Amino acid sequence: MRSGLTERAESLKEEGLRLYRLGDYEAAASLFMEAEGIFAEARDLRGQGETLNNLGVLHLQAQRWAEAQKAFEGANDKFISAEDNLGRAQTLGNFGELFRRRGQREEAVDSLKEAANLLREVGEREKEAKTLELISRIRLEERRWLEALHFYDLSLAAHHSGLKGTILRPLVKIPLSLLSRGSM
């Protein structure tokens, strides 16, 4: 059963999300910070983590890199304490996007790999596939063709069912095998 504090914090977080979607970042940030404080008072680590993660995304959209990083670090700490691997994976994915936007591609890939591993562990295969696809796009931008194909193949494997994985995966294997032979 939820406490009155938690319900109040959830309500503030939802209103913050609504304002964020409308582009009112300052009002949304204020509500997220208020909600995070109430979640802390209620000792709700997951609620704190979700709210800090939302605050980080808001700062990311506003290109306030230091604030985004600080919020994501706080969210990650809360999710670790709560043993919430899905929350951690989402935060690590957001870290990956932050690093990518700042031009820190290796840090982005490292963070996204960790997120993909956690997503696999918790059974979020579609989110894992999208994360691996983002790594593939980063490698394509760097013209690292073999790695791009490798991560795209992993992305297709994570889809494991459906037309996309069934048809595209064998097609990706052809250039992947040709390129890997040439790199030895």
Say how many CA atoms lie within 13 Å of 152 toward its Cβ: 21
Q: How far is CA 120 from CA 85, 126, 127, 137, 148, in A?
A: 10, 9, 9, 20, 19
Where a domain ends, among 59, 78, 97?
A: 78
Q: What is the pTM of this model?
A: 0.84
pLDDT in tens, 128-144: 999 999 999 999 999 99
Does 90 share its domain with 177? yes
pLDDT in tens, 90-133: 999 999 999 999 999 999 999 999 999 999 999 999 999 999 99
Does 120 share its domain with 59? no
Return the DSSP state at 176: H
d(CA 123, CA 117): 10
Percent of the chain surpassing pLDDT 90: 76
Q: What is the number of structural domains in the chain? A: 2
d(CA 48, CA 44): 6
Range of the domain at 164: 84-184
